[in-house]
Amino acid sequence: MKKRWMGLLGAVLTVLVLLSACKRSLNDVIATEPCKQGVVESVNERVLFLDEDKIEGDPNTGGYYSVSLDVEYSDSMTHFYEGDRVAVYYDGWIAESYPGQINHVYAILLLEAGEARKEAEKEQGADKNADGYTEITPEAAKEMMDADPDAVILDVREQSEFDTGHVPGAVLLPVGTIDEESAAAVLPDKETTVLVYCRSGNRSKQASKALAELGYTQIYEFGGVNDWPYELER
C-alpha cells in the first residue's frame, strides 16, 4: 500500500513539473493572445473600466469594458490610474453585458502614463530621505519603468555581475567609479528619473547618495537583483 501511494505521489509531482515547464512566457502571451487597447476610465480593487481605442473602419473596436485585475502573469502591471493607456491581453471571450466583461485576463501592460499617474510620481519625489534620494520597492520601480520610457535604469554593480543578469534596459555605472565626469557620460540630464539598483541594496544606496550629492534630483533606489521578482536580461 505504501509503495502504491508513493507511486501516485510521484506521478502527481511529475505532472505538476510538466505543467510548470509548459507555462508560456509573457512575451508568448503578447505575441499570440487577443488584445484590447484603450484608456482607463476608472479603477477599483477588482476591476478597471476600459474605454477602448476606436480604429477607423473596424466596427469591433471602440467598446467599453470591465476588465478583471486578477491577472495570470505577475510580471504584468495590475495597479493603474485613471487616464493611463493600457493593453489588455485576454482569452478572447467577452461576457455580454454593459459594460462588456473581460474576466479571464492574462496580462495588462501600461502603454502610456496618464496625468493622474504623473502627479502621483511627482508626489513620491517629496519623500526623499536625508541623503537626497527616494527609496521605493521593486514593484514601484517596475511601474515607473513601464510608465516612463525615458527613465534610466542604473546598475551600480561590477561588469562581471552585470553580465550574469541585469534588469532589462539597464546601463552600468559601478559605484566605485561615480564622479562628475563618469555620471555625466551616462546621465547627462540631472533632472532625469534614475532608478538605481545593485545586488542586495547596499551599493545602490551608496550610489544614490553620491548622485544626489552631484545634483541629480530624481533618484529612486529600489534595492538589488536578489529581491527583483521579474525577469532578468543576460
Catalytic residues: 198
Write the single-letter amino acid at 146: D
**Closest residue by Cα to residue 152 from 132, 172, 137, 138:** 172
**Closest residue by Cα to residue 211 from 161, 144, 154:** 154
Radius of gyration of the chain measured on its C-alpha atoms: 22
Write the single-letter amino acid at 176: G
**Bridge partner residues of 155 (DSSP):** 172, 197
Q: What is the Cα–Cα distance from 209 to 202, expressed in whole angstroms? A: 11
Write the single-letter amino acid at 119: E
Instruction: Report yes or no: 167 and 196 within 8 Å, Cβ to Cβ.
Output: no
Where does 23-164 have alpha helices with state H? 26-32, 115-124, 138-147, 159-164
Output the CA–CA distances (angstroms, integers) from residue 90 to 21, 97, 98, in the order listed.
Answer: 21, 17, 18
Q: What is the Cα–Cα distance from 162 to 56, expressed in whole angstroms? A: 46
